[in-house]
Amino acid sequence: MPGKTVLEIGCGTGTNAIELARRGYQVTAIDLVDLAVRRAKDKAQRAGVDIDFRVGDATRMDLGGPFDVVFDRGVYHGIRARNLSGFRKMLKRVTRPGSRWLTLAGNAKEPTANGPPVVSEDEFRSELEPLFKILEVREFRFTLDRDDSRPLGWSILMERR
Ligand SMILES: C[S@@+](CC[C@H](N)C(=O)[O-])C[C@H]1O[C@@H](n2cnc3c(N)ncnc32)[C@H](O)[C@@H]1O
């Protein structure tokens, strides 16, 4: 992915933020859950990478930026039902024209009882295309920590208009 600065929204215990930092990105990572961020900080320290971790609601904070890249695994697909408008406003604040956003979201072609929230292609296009040009859509299967199921997902790469 081109760029140097990355914002991860909903970083959980930091697995992806740490991998991005290892790859040379300057990473800011936020999650609502204090315990998750404390675990992420410990993991980052052990991995020897420096990450700017924040705790709080990303839709209500000044996160700095604009960032070259925004990444989320499993946030857009959940928050869209509760606060799509706040989420889009936040994305507008933390990006500039040309910034990229990669979201990994549950895929409505295969809803499952215990899987992630899902979104259809029509839904994500109508919700995201006003602010972002969709560059690439791929299907993949999530790997979950909690069980062996592999829910179908969308990987949606976008560029801020
Ligand atoms: C499905 S989990 C995914 C965690 C991590 N990205 C992963 O792939 O393992 C979604 C995460 O987003 C966080 N989250 C949800 N809404 C958020 C918000 N408004 N601001 C910050 N974090 C949020 C949750 O606390 C949770 O850790």
> What is the number of structural domains in the chain?
1
Best of 6, 32, 143 for a ligand 1 pocket test (most atoms within 8 Å of beta carbon): 32
Pocket of ligand 1 contains residue 58 by CB under 6 Å: yes
pLDDT greater than 90 at residue 114: no
pLDDT (mean) for 10-14:
98
Question: CATH code at 87?
Answer: 3.40.50.150
Cβ(25)–Cβ(71) under 8 Å?
A: no
pTM of the predicted protein model: 0.97
| Structure confidence at residue 29 (pLDDT) | 98
Pocket of ligand 1 contains residue 63 by CB under 6 Å: no
Give pLDDT tens digits for 76-108. 999 999 999 999 999 999 999 999 999 999 999
Q: Which range of residues forms the domain containing residue 56?
A: 5-160
What secondary structure does DSSP assign to 20-34, as a single string? HHHTT-EEEEEES-H
Give pLDDT tens digits for 59-71. 999 999 999 999 9
Pocket of ligand 1 contains residue 151 by CB under 6 Å: no
